[in-house]
Amino acid sequence: MAGFRGGYGGGFGGGNMQNMIKQAQKMQQEMAKAQEELQNAELTGSAGGGLVEVRVNGKNEFLGISIKPEAVDPDDVEMLEDLIAAAMSDAKAKADELSREKLGAFGAMGGML
């Protein structure tokens, strides 16, 4: 046993573990940045040629709504309801697309960090 010095030699992958930890930390930082970008993004969904516009952030949180006066017909409230629903769907689709774009690279690992 003259050559045994104790501890862990280079063959036990100690350096690889450190690299994996660094990679995980970097990925966590990148994911946090992407989530912040989603939080700060503002997307607009519209319907009726812009008669109704709905604003959401990249996390699909409602920010506001704009309704042009000509969209308001007291005799046809159902049309306004449909326009609002369509604008909300449009905004949600845009937020979902942005989320896939920003977070898609993280795949299954995103849930682990």
Instruction: Write out the DSSP string of 52-89.
Output: EEEEEETT--EEEEEE-GGG--TT-HHHHHHHHHHHHH
pLDDT the model gives residue 14: 62
Give the model's pLDDT for residue 64: 96
Residue-wise pLDDT for 60-83, tens only, equals 899 999 999 999 999 999 999 999
**Global pTM?**
0.69
Ranges of the chain with pLDDT below 70: 1-14, 107-113
- CA–CA separation, 30 vs 21, rounded Å? 14
Residue 13: per-residue pLDDT:
56
Complete domains list, the chain, with CATH: 13-112 (3.30.1310.10)
Measured CA angle at 41 (ends 24, 68), to 5 deg = 160
